[in-house]
Amino acid sequence: MKLIVGLGNPGPEYAQTRHNVGFLVVDELVRRGLDRAKARTLKPDTFMNLSGTAVAAALRQSNMTARDVIVAYDDADLVFGDIRVRTEGGSAGHNGIKSLIEHLGTPEFTRIRVGIGRSENPNVPLEDWVLGKWSGDEQEKMSDIVGRAADEIEKML
């Protein structure tokens, strides 16, 4: 059994922001009819920097450990649309991942990193970029990108 977590921020004002790509991946897996005998999904209703509290609580209510967790999230250090899989590592400054490492007590969980890139304008702070809405061009490509991230997770199951 796996716990598939999509990282994002709750509320309609964040629904179409770059920081919520993890939620989109979980939504796609649910849309596909993810086999509930193999995995459960979670979209924490906490804000990104408190995601670890929700994931730790979900693990306490199950027979799963941190090694059973697969987390999908945005990564500004990857080119838009790139997808990378890691089985452990540091947070690379991502507040949601920092929270997971802190609350799970280990970095040993699988990560599906979805590239959102960075603004071409160096004056745009990273926080504004990740909390910004997808551009029209990005939005057109999101279905494919989210689908590829979901494919990676399905391969793991």
Instruction: Please tell me the total number of residues recorded for the chain in this structure.
Output: 157
Choice among 7-11, 22-26, 87-91, 113-117 with the minimum mean pLDDT: 87-91
> What pLDDT score does 87 carry?
87
| The model's pTM | 0.94
Residues carrying an active site annotation? 19
The two structure tokens encoding residue 150: 């979901």
Nearest to 129 by CA among 138, 121, 139: 121
Looking at residue 37, its pLDDT comes to: 82
Write the pLDDT tens digit of every residue in 39-92. Answer: 999 999 999 999 999 999 999 999 899 999 999 999 999 999 999 999 888 888
Which residues have C-beta within 8 Å of that of residue 25, sequence separation ≥ 6? 6, 72, 112, 114, 146, 149, 150, 153
pLDDT at 36 over 90: no
2-156 is a CATH 3.40.50.620 domain: no
Confidence of residue 119 (pLDDT cuts 50, 70, 90): very high
Give per-residue pLDDT as tens, 132-157: 999 999 999 999 999 999 999 999 99
Reduce the DSSP state of residue 53 to 3 states and report it.
Answer: helix
Which ranges of the chain would DSSP assign to H, the alpha helix?
Answer: 21-31, 51-60, 95-104, 126-130, 136-156
Residue 28 buriedness (CB in 10 A; 0-12 / 13-18 / 19+):
buried
Phi, psi of 116 (to 5 degrees): -115, -5
Look at residue 90 in the predicted model and tell me its pLDDT.
85
Region 107-124: mean pLDDT is: 95
> Which candidate, 41, 44, 59, places its Cα nearest to that of 104?
59
Q: How far apart are CA 88 and CA 85, in angstroms?
A: 9
